[in-house]
Structure 1
Amino acid sequence: MDRENATPDRQQLLRLLQLSSPLLPVGGYSYSEGLEQTIDRGIISDRGTLQAWIECELQTGAIRIETAMVDRAYLAGMTGEIARLRYWNQWLCAARETEELRLQSWQMGGSLVKLALELTPEIADSISAIGNPCNYAIAFGHVAQAWQIEREAAILAYVHTWVANQLSVGIKLIPLGQTAGQQILWQLQPNIDALARTIPTLADRDLYACSWGLSLASMQHETLYSRLFRS
């Protein structure tokens, strides 16, 4: 099937799969977002504790805010409100709890921007107007809209990709088997869907999270003696 002859729905699906693929060269695999620290201290030590940690993060953690930024970047791109894109990018920079998490967001965002410009140079003006550094959630939302990926699908893919990355960290460090990781991912589907459905309903006053556990783990990870991950 030629790309030019693909139906809009099939082309959208292909672009969504590419944007959420583990092959996307943004370096997400190199970050644990505090999980390495919690595993090192024995707070997370098995399948049950890993699943409980991810469940709590999906319910009240920072991923809730990040995904809301994906949605706001998507909407701002759809309406051409570049000033809103810049505003939410700066807002998310200020909202990052630790230096490690901020640098992670900037590195992944910059990598996605670079890739998007290589694949679709026609979006150069809008994406460069966001400013530098660009947070990953902002870049993801804007690119998803520019690639004409459905809004709800982009939100769901972002959350799913985050969960998959967290599970990959747990599989490597606890360690867990690949099957155990897939079982957790299967059981977390309702949680992933619940967050994705909530995101479009969040007003600006609802942009808060209870992520002190993640924040403490991230701050302590900076001084962890031996580590495999960058956060």
Structure 2
Amino acid sequence: MDDRSNSLLCLLQLAFAPVGAYSYSEGIESLVEAGAIDSKISLRNWLENSLEFGAVRVEAAVAVRALRAAKIGDLTALSYWNAWATAAKETEELRLQSWQMGRTLLRLLLDLREAKLSRRESPTPSALTTIVQEFAADDGNQCNFAIGFGMAAAHWQIEEEAAVLGYLYSWAANLASAGVKLIPLGQTAGQQLLLDLHSQISCTAREVLQLEDDDIASCSWGLALASMAHETQYTRLFRS
């Protein structure tokens, strides 16, 4: 298998890794309950605005910085951006979601490595493996999902642009799926929604890759309010 094919397959595996993303709606459930999202159009508008202005841009930017730091084995930078990402979460539910998904992804990476070791395919631990082990072992140092995603992308030698596109697309696909269940929508409508988001995903990815550290920002008060409302919602299908 050539390097390009291997990188693409690794990206697909990372983007849809079983880390529990399906159990989160990131406030969409409370917005559907309130009637703010009630159709494919209103869901698309919410996701487009989130990609253009919202917290997912910040998450993607953090993932890029984690990828760059992991490539050179910079544990200090990884710890800094991990703490930064934790501080940027507006609600407890969003923070716990990020930690749970990040922790699960790191454990998955280590389990896959153990499987390779059992087949003697990768006998020598790398510096990146050591970093992953440190993050996974320290319960007091919860790993945000964007940090874990960046480390995984570095581990599998995925290019920055591809990693950002994969991160944003997997986020959009998960929330589109949540909307299909909650509104509800047909599966074809959900797929058309994702197709409609391709242009905004691509645009956001380009912008994220050009962001300087001091320019990382978002307007996510709507997400924060939806997340807080969801925390006390009487009946719900999703964890957040």
TM-score category, normalised to shorter length = over 0.9
- What is the rounded CA distance, in whole Å, between the counterparts of 1:16 and 1:25 in structure 2? 13
The aligned counterpart of 2:164 is 155
The aligned counterpart of 2:216 is 207
Task: Tell me if the contact between 1:86 and 1:129 (Cα under 8 Å) persists in the aligned partners.
Answer: no
Aligned-pair CA distance for 1:8: 1.1
Matches within 5 A, 1:1-231: 6-21=1-16, 24-120=17-113, 122=125, 123-130=128-135, 132-231=141-240
- What is the rounded CA distance, in whole Å, between the counterparts of 1:106 and 1:78 in structure 2? 22
Aligned-pair CA distance for 1:196: 0.6
Q: Which letter maps to 2:43?
A: L
Aligned-pair CA distance for 1:42: 0.2
- What is the rounded CA distance, in whole Å, between the counterparts of 1:60 and 1:128 in structure 2? 34
Deviations 1:148-185 (A, max 9, x none): 11111011000000000110010000000011111111
Deviations 1:73-129 (A, max 9, x none): 001112221100010001101110100000000000000000001112534311134
| Count of equivalent residues | 224
TM-score by length of 1: 0.94
Task: Tell me if the contact between 2:99 and 2:143 (Cα under 8 Å) persists in the aligned partners.
Answer: yes
Q: Which letter maps to 2:111?
A: E
TM-score by length of 2: 0.91
Task: Tell me if the contact between 2:110 and 2:133 (Cα under 8 Å) persists in the aligned partners.
Answer: no
Task: Tell me if the contact between 2:53 and 2:219 (Cα under 8 Å) persists in the aligned partners.
Answer: yes
Any unmatched runs of 5+ in structure 1? 1-5
Give 4+ residue runs of structure 1 displaced > 2 Å after superposition: 120-124, 128-132
For the residue of structure 2 that corresponds to 1:188, the secondary structure is helix
- What is the rounded CA distance, in whole Å, between the counterparts of 1:65 and 1:184 in structure 2? 23
Q: Which letter maps to 1:206?
A: D
- What is the rounded CA distance, in whole Å, between the counterparts of 2:196 and 2:4 in structure 1? 28
- What is the rounded CA distance, in whole Å, between the counterparts of 1:200 and 1:181 in structure 2? 28
Aligned-pair CA distance for 1:7: 1.3
Any unmatched runs of 5+ in structure 2? 115-124
Deviations 1:43-87 (A, max 9, x none): 000111000000110010000000001100001112221100010
The aligned counterpart of 2:117 is none
- What is the rounded CA distance, in whole Å, between the counterparts of 2:214 and 2:15 in structure 1? 29
Aligned-pair CA distance for 1:194: 0.3
For the residue of structure 2 that corresponds to 1:17, the secondary structure is helix
Aligned-pair CA distance for 1:38: 0.2
**Percent identical across equivalent pairs?**
51
For the residue of structure 2 that corresponds to 1:120, the secondary structure is helix
- What is the rounded CA distance, in whole Å, between the counterparts of 1:71 and 1:128 in structure 2? 20
